[in-house]
């Protein structure tokens, strides 16, 4: 069995894409070193995800079809605190991981012993929360005597774009929009990603969550703003869009949150209540407008054939509608995962793990959670 078989090389260069603009490009390459690639006969895989506030398990069939996708959300635990409390998240994962995993196996109509591999989120995420999944996966891998791989949560989100349509074309621009990330990648093939742009401050999901908090909406803020905005007029109250310098594929959302704060400060209490749906709609529009513009600019300048938008914020109904309209008018292929694969889930982790196992990666039983592993993909194992 191969161990520590893969090394990531990263370089950060300023390059010109199609002569249009300077962009920062980060290369992430998987390179096999001094170990042979262990063969893995594809079979059913169990995926486990515990990086934040969802405990999730999923079983994929040998051909990558999703057989089960179980998600237990901790929103009720964290709601009264207005955000995720790490210690409570870890405890809640411990309480539900066994049940969630058993349910995933049961729904797949396979036996525990049919599994041939385990994929677990190794990072990025909350250290204590990740540890629960990683240790559970290690115990299972040991008991069942099957290989396991540690998967980057980001690579999981990217893999979600191919879950429904494995033939979705490459090269492709992938926008990851979640609570922690707003990253634009150029994906040429599995394991090869170039970072085209990312947020310089808040992630898009964070902008939704903080905006919702200012508007007095419940946690998590993204779905709350999405629902309320449907009753509002996105043109009634205009919020600033931050495009940064001409041609930049980076994002910035912190000014938007400040703009909302200032608007609320000068609004009398009564008109605030009367206009809350318009505020939500205008605020949401400013976020999704920039996401759509920059995603299509990335496709244009990189010469990609397709666009995939993944992560929790890709569940946003206004973002989905605008992306679909624009893709249709430009004749571009668009992958928007079904809602169950947008927010955190384990089917995406199992899918990324399946690719890693096929590439010969194996995690030793002493792997650790890697809370701040943000920019590299499937880990050195």
Closer residue to ligand KG4 in complex, CB, 23/228: 228
Identify the bridge partners of residue 120 per DSSP, sorted by sequence position: 48, 150
Please report whether residue 202 would count as binding Zn ion according to CB under 5 A: no
Q: How far apart are the first and last CA of the chain?
A: 11
Give least dist CB 243 to Zn ion, A: 25
Partner touching 316 among ligand KG4, Zn ion, none, CB below 5 to 8 Å by kind: ligand KG4
Question: What distance in Å separates the CA atoms of residue 41 and residue 171, rounded to the nearest whole number?
Answer: 27
Partner touching 202 among Zn ion, ligand KG4, none, CB below 5 to 8 Å by kind: none
Q: What is the DSSP letter of 38?
A: P
Please report whether residue 182 would count as binding Zn ion according to CB under 5 A: no
Closer residue to Zn ion in complex, CB, 332/369: 369
Quick one: tokens of 357? 């196992």
Closer residue to Zn ion in complex, CB, 117/124: 124
Which residues fall within 8 angstroms of residue 63, CB to CB, at 6 or more apart? Answer: 42
Please report whether residue 122 would count as binding Zn ion according to CB under 5 A: no
CB-CB contact of 158 with 338 (8 Å): no
Partner touching 180 among ligand KG4, Zn ion, none, CB below 5 to 8 Å by kind: ligand KG4
Give least dist CB 371 to Zn ion, A: 14
Partner touching 315 among ligand KG4, Zn ion, none, CB below 5 to 8 Å by kind: ligand KG4
Strands (E) in the chain, as ranges, are 6-17, 21-32, 45-49, 54-60, 66-73, 117-123, 148-152, 172-177, 182-189, 192-198, 306-310, 333-335
Closer residue to ligand KG4 in complex, CB, 138/320: 320
Closer residue to ligand KG4 in complex, CB, 343/375: 343
Closer residue to Zn ion in complex, CB, 226/344: 344
Which residues fall within 8 angstroms of residue 146, CB to CB, at 6 or more apart? Answer: 115, 116, 117, 118
Binding site for ligand KG4 (CB under 6 A): 52, 178-180, 205, 208-209, 220-223, 226, 311-313, 315-316, 343-344
Give least dist CB 77 to ligand KG4, A: 15
Identify the bridge partners of residue 32 per DSSP, sorted by sequence position: 6
Q: Which of 309, 313, 312 is nearest to 324 (CA)?
A: 309
Q: Which residue in the set 49, 54, 250, 344 belongs to the binding site for Zn ion (CB under 5 A)?
A: 344
Give least dist CB 114 to ligand KG4, A: 29
Give least dist CB 204 to Zn ion, A: 12
Please report whether residue 178 would count as binding Zn ion according to CB under 5 A: yes
Question: What distance in Å separates the CA atoms of residue 200 and residue 68, rounded to the nearest whole number?
Answer: 37
Strand order in the sheet with 21-32: 6-17, 21-32, 192-198, 182-189, 172-177, 306-310, 333-335
Give least dist CB 234 to Zn ion, A: 26
Give least dist CB 312 to Zn ion, A: 6
Closer residue to Zn ion in complex, CB, 206/278: 206
């Amino acid at each position: 069995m191969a161990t520590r078989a893969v090394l990531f090389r990263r370089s950060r260069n300023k390059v010109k894409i199609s002569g249009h603009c300077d962009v920062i490009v980060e290369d992430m390459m998987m390179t096999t070193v001094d170990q042979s690639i262990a063969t893995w006969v594809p079979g059913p895989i169990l995926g486990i995800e515990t990086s934040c506030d969802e405990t999730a398990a999923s079983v994929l069939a040998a051909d990558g079809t999703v057989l089960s996708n179980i998600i237990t959300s901790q929103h009720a635990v964290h709601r009264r605190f207005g955000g995720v409390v790490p210690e409570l998240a870890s405890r809640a994962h411990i309480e539900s991981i066994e049940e969630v995993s058993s349910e995933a196996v049961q729904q797949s109509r396979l036996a525990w012993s049919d599994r041939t591999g385990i994929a677990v989120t190794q990072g990025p995420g909350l250290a204590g929360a990740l540890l629960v999944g990683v240790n559970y996966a290690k115990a299972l891998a040991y008991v069942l005597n099957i290989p396991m791989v540690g998967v980057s949560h980001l690579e999981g989100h990217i893999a979600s774009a191919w879950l429904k349509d494995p033939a979705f074309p490459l090269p492709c621009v992938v926008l990851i929009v979640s609570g922690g990330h707003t990253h634009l990648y150029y994906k040429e093939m599995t394991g090869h990603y170039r970072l085209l742009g990312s947020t310089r401050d808040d992630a898009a999901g964070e902008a939704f969550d903080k905006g919702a908090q200012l508007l007095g909406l419940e946690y998590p803020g993204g779905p709350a703003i999405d629902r309320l905005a449907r009753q509002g007029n996105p043109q009634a109250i205009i919020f600033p869009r931050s495009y940064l310098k001409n041609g930049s594929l980076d994002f910035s959302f912190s000014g938007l949150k400040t703009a909302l704060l200032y608007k609320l400060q000068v609004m009398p209490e009564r008109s605030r209540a009367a206009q809350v749906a318009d505020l939500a709609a205008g605020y949401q529009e400013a976020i999704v407008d920039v996401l759509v513009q920059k995603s299509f600019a990335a496709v244009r300048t990189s010469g990609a054939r397709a666009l995939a938008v993944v992560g929790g914020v890709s569940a946003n109904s206004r973002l989905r509608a605008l992306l679909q309209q624009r893709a249709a008018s430009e004749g571009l292929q668009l992958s928007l995962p079904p809602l169950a694969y947008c927010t955190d889930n384990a089917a995406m982790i199992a899918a990324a793990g399946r690719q890693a196992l096929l590439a010969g990666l194996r995690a030793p039983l002493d792997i650790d959670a890697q809370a701040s592993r943000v920019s590299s993909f499937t880990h050195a194992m």
